[in-house]
Amino acid sequence: MAEEKLFGKYNEFVLLLSGFVLTGLIGSYISQRYSREAATSAFASSVFKDTTAAIGKRMMATSSLLNALQSEDDANGTKSAKLEVAMDRYRDGLQVWNSERTYLREMVSTYYGTRSWETERKIHYHFRALGDALERAYKTGKADYPCLKTKRDKMLDEVSAFAGDLSQALDSGRIGSDADHGKRNKIRYPDTVCVIR
């Protein structure tokens, strides 16, 4: 009879020990996964903020230069101090954009996936084409301002849609390893925009 009690206590002890071990392992796994997801979400949120801020600054510098160029053209005079300041701000903003962009673009790819990377790249190429047209207007004094403003307004729509897509991905949890990480497509640089010959 003593053996039956000892065996019964041993069985209970094994079950109790197994319960503690399994609870610890499962709890540790859940905790680790939650911590990883929280860290991914926090970093993806930071990437969203930094990327949209950088694009917003570039957009503001581009719009300010476009407005200054058109005001200058409307006044039919030599380059004013206001235009020179707008051009300096544009070039400073361009330098910051170019220095931050590679890192931000790759973080967009890592946390938001290939489609977001491609969209950011298209936006950059549109910025470049519009910037080339603004630089030409600054040097030559000639520009098709209605065309340039239309291009800028289309870019604003693209930027807004891009920010909305990133925000939705962040909100729905389609970030990090849950984002679409397919093959990157080659993005074609757009043709020169708004050229006056």
Distance of CA 173 to the CA centre of its chain: 16
* The model's pTM: 0.77
Higher pLDDT, 181 or 148: 148
Residue 195 pLDDT: 64
- Lowest mean pLDDT: which of 22-36, 114-128, 142-156? 22-36
Between 154 and 141, name the one with better pLDDT. 154
11-25 residue pLDDT tens? 777 777 777 777 777
Residue spans of the domains in the chain: they are 46-178
Fold type of domain 46-178: de novo design (two linked rop proteins) (1.20.1440)
Instruction: Provide the pLDDT confidence category of residue 26 given band limits of 50, 70 and 90.
Output: confident
d(CA 137, CA 131): 10
Contact present, 152 and 66 (Cβ < 8 Å): yes
- Distance of alpha carbon 51 from alpha carbon 195, whole angstroms: 30
Q: Are 155 and 132 in contact (CB under 8 A)?
A: no
**Three-state SS at 190:** coil
| 87-91, 110-114, 139-143, 149-153, range with the lowest pLDDT | 139-143
- Asked whether residue 47 carries a pLDDT value surpassing 80, the answer given is yes
